Structure 1
């Protein structure tokens, strides 16, 4: 089982009283990469895209971030661990590293996270890391700029690209619709982005890939799953549930999750603060 679009599972562990999260290296890359045409790489811009064990991600910033701010990396919640429904991880120490890619998808080097700012698989499937490096540090060292997180919702009918750092390839399609509720095994996501077909038949390892407006560096969602086998509401086989409870599903239909909600959870200082009035993201129990 690929566990959504991750190529191998992560373990989330705690070390002693410090409660630090570590992400040990494990497994190996998939033994045989799919037969991607080289032009599929040449057609996409990989600047700011990152790769991590079993998943993809991106170097991101807010619309008003300063170059002197500590940089952030966006991926999926399930690229941290298979976080149980209703569970939210917030402000946890980590030392996770990411490979950062050039515009042509070559590996430039590594960046390192010091904190897991946020991760959940409830309502959305998102993780956001805070790096020790600033945006200026990364620009100086790698001549690489971050992608910008959109502060608004994805627009139905708009052209999009899904860019995977793990596979160093991209996909192109459109936002076909916004699914009211997406159910996959025990997990439920709200307002998921449904991909048009053909074009975005994503695979294991593309988890956490940014979904960007075509020809832009604006992130409108984060890629996370596809119905692989045509089954109903199972892991790796998500189904849609409309407001009347009607269930629909189809093999080959892929989805991404909303990310703009993070803007609603920024305090007056611009920091991610889940106690901010109007915050749309799920909060830890007791918060």
Structure 2
């Protein structure tokens, strides 16, 4: 089991939750010479310390801070609450003076087991004047230089001599995930500190930040989740895995299932180009690997094949809104991208009249950090995350896919989500479709895609999920919402003859 920091004065500090030997707060570190505007101390009346400190926290918006999920534990075991007497001191090297002292209005804990979901938000009663820290958009890789901060205890006793008033910091690195296997680590976490454990967080450093340099500023990469036994690095929650959950919690935005399509084991959506007319036969978008006939071969495509399938379009809550049927498979490929377009037996006007949502296809591809909603009609589930990066080439089972979308870790879609639209929540347009997951950590095999960089080097990331961009469909659509692969700007893979 992973070790956790003490956050309540009502629980005895036992050997099982302490580092193996006395060490300075932020073990291996030094006193910070200057304050960090975003750095905060969460202080609770039930703290074992006279200064009230229980955990670190980081200001990510004027009225919001992020900390560890176990730092907001409470007797009622609720995920959302309005605590009494909780405060945060922000922007000071001292835990007891300076900076801003602001009351906590609300805490919101990430649902799920702590291991892998150990994140919580603190909404402040008033906005802080300090400058928030920016959030990392992707997990830092092994060997990335990292700075850690905190006011953790300096020895193994609950006595004032062990409670530092001055903020401490240490420069260390991100370690390979395998270095934290002994204490348990999930895909949504990173391993930080020295391999021997001599540089890392101690008790009451929980929720404190791991920050990395981006140009001339710091960005937040992680928050302390699990301690160590003094002989290995510590586990930090990876901020990129939760950035969209945090955004949704702060804005109260929840994606709906409206317009999602259940397609017999896959997902899909009804889509149109800007120039589509209401009288055009509607188009259904899904994956090339979701077709019912033979799949397109590598370096090939199929077009105008008869395939009759039932299509169920859902409402906001996931119940059937209306139905349609495919008349033919207009186009499908798994080379370059993984898409299929079906023509339906209803027009856009008919579907709209029946209350079905029709999505617009975005003409431009997404960039890193673009938010997205994954809307899986086949599973009746939605996820919110962001673009973690664009992969120049993704290979799987003999197929090569260009400019694939790599998600941040929030989107955890499984079987049945293939073909689900990736919707930009700000525009409502489809920017891609979900298509694959590396399930077993294998290299370039079925259900185990590998990333290939511009130098041809392959990398594998178990449990990483990917989507395909759909902007390339737009140049291939002509009047009547027909696919014309001969158009000058159409780069979709052509069918073999």
Is the shorter-chain TM-score for this pair beyond 0.5, marking a shared fold?
Answer: yes
Contact 1:201–1:226 (CA under 8 A) maintained in structure 2? no
- Compute the displacement of 1:217 (Å): 2.2
SS of the aligned residue for 1:137 comes to helix
1:189 to 401, 416, 431: 401
Residue 103, structure 1, aligned to residue 320, structure 2: no
Contact 2:276–2:479 (CA under 8 A) maintained in structure 1? no
Residue 164, structure 1, aligned to residue 380, structure 2: no
Could you state the TM-score of these two structures normalised by the residue count of structure 2? 0.47
SS of the aligned residue for 1:181 comes to strand
SS of the aligned residue for 1:278 comes to coil
1:242 corresponding residue in structure 2: 453
Contact 1:44–1:169 (CA under 8 A) maintained in structure 2? no
1:63 corresponding residue in structure 2: 274
Higher alpha-carbon deviation: 271-280 or 157-166: 271-280
Contact 1:135–1:145 (CA under 8 A) maintained in structure 2? no
- Compute the displacement of 1:269 (Å): 6.6
2:337 corresponding residue in structure 1: 124
What are the Cα deviations for residues 94-152 of structure 1, in whole angstroms up to 9, with x where unaligned?
A: 322211101221112321111211101111000011111011111222x1220111111
Could you state the TM-score of these two structures normalised by the residue count of structure 1? 0.81
Which residues in structure 2 correspond to 1:66-85 (within 5 Å)? 66-80=277-291, 81-85=294-298
Contact 1:225–1:255 (CA under 8 A) maintained in structure 2? yes
SS of the aligned residue for 2:482 comes to coil
Which residues in structure 2 correspond to 1:1-287 (within 5 Å)? 43-80=254-291, 81-141=294-354, 143-197=355-409, 199-267=410-478, 271-286=482-497
Judged with a 3 Å threshold, the aligned counterparts in structure 2 of structure 1 residues 270 and 54 are, in CA distance, closer, same or farther, namely closer
Contact 2:277–2:480 (CA under 8 A) maintained in structure 1? no
Find the structure with the greater CA-based Rg.
Answer: 2
CA-atom RMSD, angstroms?
Answer: 1.6
Judged with a 3 Å threshold, the aligned counterparts in structure 2 of structure 1 residues 193 and 135 are, in CA distance, closer, same or farther, namely same
Q: Distance in 2 between matches of 1:145 and 1:66?
A: 15
SS of the aligned residue for 1:138 comes to helix
2:167 corresponding residue in structure 1: none
2:236 corresponding residue in structure 1: none
Q: Distance in 2 between matches of 1:139 and 1:118?
A: 24
Q: Which has the higher contact order (CA 8 A, sep 6+)?
A: 1
What are the Cα deviations for residues 43-84 of structure 1, in whole angstroms up to 9, with x where unaligned?
A: 322222110111000011112222221111100000005322
Number of corresponding residues: 243
Consecutive unaligned residues in structure 2, runs of 5 or more: 1-252
Consecutive unaligned residues in structure 1, runs of 5 or more: 1-41
Higher alpha-carbon deviation: 123-132 or 277-286: 277-286
Contact 1:47–1:102 (CA under 8 A) maintained in structure 2? yes
Q: Distance in 1 between matches of 2:326 and 2:275?
A: 21
